[in-house]
Structure 1
Amino acid sequence: MNARDPQLPLQPDEASQIGAFAQAMWDEHIVPELTHYIAIPAKSPMFDADWEKNGHIDTVLRRAAQWVEQQKVAGLTLEVIRAPGRTPVIFFEIPATKAGSTDTVLLYGHLDKQPEFSGWRSDLGPWTPKYEDGKLYGRGGADDGYAVYAALTAILALDRQGIPRPRCVGLIETCEESGSFDLPLYIEQLGKRLGNVSLVVCLDSGAGDYDRLWLTTSLRGNVTGTLKVEVLTEGIHSGDNSGVAPSSFRIMRQLLDRLEDAKSGHLLPTDFHCEIPPERVVQAQTTADILGEEVYKRMPWACGGDGGPVLPVTTDPLQVLLNRTWRPTLSVTGVDGMPSISNAGNVLRPFTAFKLSLRLPPLVDGNEAALKLKALLEDNAPYNARVSFVPDGRAGAYGATGWNTPDIAPWLSGALESASQTHFGTPVGYIGQGGTIPLMGMLQKGFPKAQMMVCGVLGPKSNAHGPNEFLHVPYGKRLTAAVAQVIAAHP
C-alpha cells in the first residue's frame, strides 16, 4: 500500500500534477488513439444489422482493450465478455491502493456510434478525423469513445503520485446507441464481480459550457420505433385516384395528432408526463442564470422568413432547460415510402413510414410508455388503414427509462466543487440532460446507495449524432483531471 496518509486532503501540488499528467496523456496518447477510433465506422447494431460480420465494433473494442492493457496499471485484469449474438463489453478491474477500502468505483463508457448523417462541412466527415483549434472532429470521439481512455488516465494520474484510491472497475459497452438492450445480460453475469459500488462515474453526458465542471442531475428516457401507414398494395395515378383512396400521409398526420399538439409541440397523453421535482426547478433556474440566452442561441438556426433566425419554442432560458430535460417531446428522425423530390411523379403512394423518437421525462417508465404509445397509434385507424408501430429494442426493453440522480452526499458535493475550482477556476454547475443513458437507471436500482458522477464533453455545438460532431480536447483534459480528483476524495 502507498505510504501517503489517505486521510490527508489533496494538496495543491498534487492537484497540479494530476492536471499536467492528464494533459500529457491526452496530447501524447488519447488524441492519436481517438483519431484511429473515429476513422472506424463502428455503428451501433440498430444502424448496422451486419455489425458482427462487418467487424467494426470488434475492431474498436480490441484496440481499446489493448490500449488499456498497455498502460501497465498495477494489478489490472481485463476481460472482453461475449454472449452469443450479443454485442461484447470490456470489463476491467484494478485493486484498491487505499488501505482498508472495501468500496468500488465503477467507470462507464461505450464505443458504438450513431450513423453518418448528412450536412458535414466539406472538409470534414463522420469517418474522417480532423484535429483543428483544439477540436477533434468526427463521429463518436465525444459520444463517447474518449471515455475508456479518460477513465484509465484518471486512475493512472493518482497511481503515479501514490495517491490512495478505492478499487476501480470499468464497464465499456458497444450497444448504448441502440438502447443498451444487451447490457442487462452482462450486468447480471458480472453480478458480485462488480463489488460494493459506492460511486459511478459515467462519462457519456454533456456540459452547459466549457468553463466549469458540469454534473448531470437527470436524463430523459426514450422510445424509438417505426410508425407505418399502408393504404394500397402499389402506387397509383394521383389524378385518377386522389380523393378516392385516402392519403397515407394524411392518416399519418391524424395519428400524430393523437400524440402531439402540432401548434405547441405539447405531448397530449398525461401518461408521458411527470411532476418536476422542486429541487430540479431551482437548479435549472441557477443554470439558466449562468447560461442565459446561450441555451438556445448556440443552436445552428436557419435564416427565417424575415431575414432573422428561426425562433425557438420559447426564449425563456428556464423553460428551455425544463423543455429539454423534464418534458416529453416528439421528433421524426427518418422516413420511408417517399421518393426524393427529383423522382417524385404524380403517384398516390401506397404507404408512409416515420421513424419516431419520443423523449420521456426522467421518472416515466420507458417500457410502459412504449406499449402505451403502440396502443395509442394503432387502435381505431382512420379508414381502417393498416397501421403498425414497431418499437426498437427487445421484448421487455422496448423503451429506455430515464434517470434522476439521488441526493448528493456532502463528500461528493465538496469534491465536485473543489475539482471544478482547481481545474476550471469556476464553481461546479448542475444541469439536466435531454439524452438517455439506460445504464444509469439499471445501476441505481442495483446500487441504490451509490453516488453518481455523470458528466461528459458534449458542450455547446459539439453536435453529437449530427454533422460536424467534435470533441473539445481542452475540456476533455480538465474533465479527466477533475474525475481523478473526485476519485481521490472518495471517503
Structure 2
Amino acid sequence: MSSVPLSEAVAALIPRAKTELAELVAFASVADWRQFPKSESQKAASWIADALRAEDFRDVEVLDTPDGTQSVYGYLPGPADAPTVLLYAHYDVQPPLDESRWLSPPFELTERDGRWYGRGAADCKGGVLMHLTALRALRGQGGVPVNVKVIVEGSEEQGTGGLERYAEQHPGLLAADAIVIGDAGNFRLGLPTVTSALRGMVVAEVRVNTLQGNLHSGMFGGAAPDALAALIHMLASLRDETGATTIDGLDGGGEWPGIAYDEADFRQDAKVLDGVGLIGTGGVSDRLWARPAVTVLGIDAPPVVGATPSVQASAGALVSVRIPPGVDAVRTGEALRAHLTAAAPWGAKVEVTLGGSGQPFAADTGSPAYAAMAEAMREAYGREMAEAGNGGSIPLCNTLAGLYPRAEFLLIGLSEPEAAIHAVNESVSPQELEKLALTEALFLRRYAAAHSATQGV
C-alpha cells in the first residue's frame, strides 16, 4: 500500500484525466442521428468500455438499449462482504449550438483562464473521468474497498429512456447499496454540494383553431376570432401578475428547506438584464426547487419577416411545467390540459396533447451514505457540505429508486454555474474535478467502513 496521501494520489492523476477527457470530448456524441453521425457515439462508448477493461473491470459490456443508443456497463469486485456502489455518468452531450460563438472548437478540449473548455467537459464526460480518477487513486492505495458497478449512459440528454427501459428489463444488473449519480454540480465553485431533489417535467403541445382559413385583417379583423390572440390569452393565464405559475389544481406555495439562493447571485448567474425583475414571489430557492414553474418553449406563428395582414386561423405552442418532489407528473399533465382548455376564449377549439414527462425525485438525506459523503466533502474541501435542489430531470433516478427501494442515492458532479452546461463555451474546473474525485474516493472508503461497522466486522 502506498504511503502517499490519497489527496496527493488524486492530484498526480489529473494530467492523465485531462489527456483522457480531451480524447473523450473529441467524439461528437450527440444522440441525435439527424444532426450527428451515430458512429461518434459508438466510438465514445467503445472508449469507455476499453477504459473500464484497463482498470480490471469484469463483465464489461456495451449494451444496446431500446432507444437505439448504447450504454456501457462494468463490474469491479471488491472485498468479501463489502457493499456495492453504482457509479453513474453519461457520455452523450448536447449539440454545440452556434459554433461561431465558441471561443475554441466545441469538440476540442482547450485550456483557457484556468478552465478546460469543450462540449461535455462538465456534462458529463468530466463525470466519467471523475469516477475513473477516484477508482485509480484507490487502486494505488491498496485497493477499492467496495464492489463497484459503473454505468455510463448514451442518451440522457435526449431523454429517450433507453437505459431506464433496459434496467427494467434486467432488474438485477444495476442493483446496489448506494448509487452515486455523477451528473449534478456544486451550488458554487468550491462549495461542496449534494443535490437532494430533482424537478420533474411535463411537456404539452396545445393547438388552437378558430377559422377554416386565414382572413384579411382589414376586412375581417375586429370580429373574426384570432387563433393566435386566443393562444396568447391562454398562455398568459398560466401566470399571475408577479409571473408566478398559476395552474389550476397545483400548489404554488412550497418552501425549500436547504441552502438559500441569494437573489443578487441568481441575477448574475442567470444574466438578467439591468432593470428587469425576477418573476414569482418568495425565496429564489423556493421558486426554483419547491414550486411548479411553467415555460413556453415555442410558438407556431408567422415570423415577423414575411408576415401578412391576416387574422390567424390556427396557432400552437409547446409548454413545459417543471415540478418539485411531492407533485405527480401525471396529475400535473391533466391539470395543465384542463387549465388550458378552460382558459380558451370565444369558444375556440383547443387540443392539448401531452408529451414526455418525468417524475420529480427526492433523496433520503438522513441515510448513512449521506453521512459518509458529508465527511468526505469536509475533508476534501475543508468546508461543510451544502444541500441544494436541481431544476433538471434525471428520469433514471426514479427508475432505479423503484427497482431498488433500499438503495441510497447521492447526486454530485462538475456542473457548477461557471460550467455553462448546455450553452456555448461549456467548461470544467480542473480544481473541481480534482476535489470531487478525491471526495468520491474518500466517500467509498468511509461508506465501506460504515457498512463494516453495521455488520459487526
TM-score by length of 1: 0.81
| Aligned twin of 2:386 | 429
Letter in 2 for 1:450: A
Given that 1:19 and 1:423 are in contact with CA atoms closer than 8 Å, whether structure 2 keeps it comes out as no
Partner of 2:16: 25
Aligned to 2:208: 229
CA distance in 1 between partners of 2:346 and 2:418 (Å)? 44
* Kept in 1: contact 2:70–2:153 (CA 8 A): yes
1:73 to 49, 55, 66: 55
Letter of the 2:430 counterpart:
V
Partner SS for 2:157: helix
Aligned with 1:261 (options 228, 240, 251): 240
Distance in 2 between the 1:209 and 1:170 partners? Answer: 27
Matched, 1:401 2:383: no
Counterparts in 2 of 1:4-19, with a 5 A limit? 13-19=4-10
User: For the structure 1 residues 163 and 83, does the alpha-carbon distance in structure 2 shift closer, same or farther, using more than 3 Å as the test?
Assistant: closer
**2:222 aligned partner:** 243
Superposed displacement of residue 486, structure 1:
0.8
The separation in 2 between residues aligned to 1:22 and 1:179, in whole angstroms, is: 33
**What amino acid does structure 1 have at the position aligned with 2:385?**
V
Q: Provide the secondary structure at the position in 2 that maps to 1:89.
A: strand
Q: Hey, what does 1:201 align to over in structure 2? A: 180
Asked if 1 retains the 8 angstrom alpha-carbon contact of 2:116 and 2:428, the reply is yes
DSSP-derived class of the 1:146 partner: helix
Within 2, Cα distance between the matches of 1:480 and 1:358?
34
Paired residue for 1:214, among 193, 201, 210? Answer: 193
Distance (Å, rounded) in 2 between the aligned partners of 1:12 and 1:470: 34
Check whether the contact 2:67–2:161 (CA below 8 A) recurs between aligned residues.
no
**1:413-455 CA-partner distances (Å, limit 9, x unpaired):** 2x32333233322222211112211111222222222222101
Alpha carbons 2:210, 2:225 under 8 Å: kept: yes
Tell me the secondary structure at the aligned position of residue 193 of structure 1.
coil
Q: Distance in 2 between matches of 1:83 and 1:123?
A: 35
1:488 to 414, 430, 445: 445
TM-score with structure 2 setting the length:
0.87
Indicate conservation of the 8 Å contact 1:220/1:325, yes or no: yes
Residue 101 of structure 2 aligns to a residue in which SS? coil
Take 1:387 and 1:258, find their aligned partners in 2: how far apart are those partners? 15
Q: Which residue of 2 aligns with 1:156?
A: 136
Q: CA deviation at 1:36?
A: 0.3
Q: Is the 8 A contact 1:214 1:455 kept in 2?
A: yes
Q: Is the 8 A contact 2:116 2:430 kept in 1?
A: yes
Give CA-to-partner distance per residue, 1:261-309, whole Å, 9 cap, x none. Answer: 2533232323355855xxx52x23xx45xx67323333212243xxxxx
What displacement does 1:219 show?
0.9
1:456 and 1:115 mapped to 2: Cα distance?
A: 20
8 Å CA contact 1:333–1:354 kept in 2: the answer is yes
Instruction: State the alpha-carbon separation in 2 of the partners of residues 104 and 140 from structure 1.
Output: 28
Is the deviation greater in 119-128 or in 438-447? 119-128
Contact residue 242 and residue 280 of structure 2 kept, 8 A: no
Q: Pick the aligned partner of 1:353 from 316, 325, 330.
A: 316
- Where in structure 2 are the equivalents of 1:408-447 lying within 5 Å? 408-410=366-368, 412-413=370-371, 415-447=372-404
Residues 88 and 174, structure 1, Cα contact 8 Å, conserved in 2:
yes
Q: Is the 8 A contact 2:86 2:148 kept in 1?
A: yes
Mapping of residues 46-61 of structure 1, within 5 Å: 50=34, 55-56=37-38, 58-61=39-42
Asked whether the equivalents of residues 64 and 148 of structure 1 are also in contact (C-alpha less than 8 Å), the reply is: no
CA distance in 2, matches of 1:130, 1:336: 39
Query: Could you tell me whether the CA contact under 8 Å between 2:211 and 2:225 is conserved in 1?
Result: no
Q: Which residue of 2 aligns with 1:299?
A: 270
RMSD (CA atoms): 3.0
- Equivalent residues, number: 447
1:330-385: CA deviations, max 9, x gaps?
1112222231x332332333332222121101121223322332233245843343
Match of 2:249 in 1: 270
Residue 229 to residue 87, structure 1, CA distance change in 2 (3 Å): farther
**CA offsets per residue over residues 170-219 of structure 1, 9 Å max, x none?**
22223323435333321122212223x11111011122111132111111
Given the alignment, which residue of 335, 343, 348 partners 2:299?
335
Counterpart of 1:42 (choices 30, 34, 54) is: 30
Unaligned runs of 5+ in 2: 452-457
1:445, 1:388 → 2: CA distance? 33
Cα drift, residue 410 of structure 1:
4.1
Offset of residue 77 of structure 1: 2.7
Distance 1:55 1:411, change over 3 A: closer
Distance change (3 Å), C-alpha of 1:477 and 1:238: farther
User: How far apart are residue 258 of structure 1 and its match?
Assistant: 4.3
- Does the CA contact (< 8 Å) of 1:118 and 1:466 recur in 2? no
2:155, 2:355 → 1: CA distance?
13
| Post-superposition CA distance 1:366-405 (Å, at most 9, x none) | 2332233223324584334332223333xxxxx2111111
2:70 pairs, out of 85, 88, 109, with 88
Please state if 1:476 is matched with 2:433. Answer: yes
Separation (CA, whole Å) in 1 of partners of 2:432 and 2:328: 33
Q: In the TM superposition, what are the counterparts of 1:80-229 in structure 2 within 5 Å?
A: 80-83=62-65, 85-96=67-78, 98-101=79-82, 103-117=83-97, 121=101, 123=103, 130-195=110-175, 197-229=176-208
**3-state SS, counterpart of residue 78 of structure 1:** strand
Mapped to 1, the partners of 2:281 and 2:106 lie a distance apart of 32
Rate the CA distance shift 1:321–1:125 in 2: closer, same or farther, 3 A: farther
Q: Report the equivalent of 1:320.
A: 284
Structure 1 residues 422, 144: CA separation in 2 closer, same or farther (over 3 Å shift)?
Answer: same
Instruction: Describe the shift of the 1:25–1:169 C-alpha distance in structure 2 as closer, same or farther (beyond 3 A).
Output: same
- The match for 2:325 among 348, 359, 362 is 362
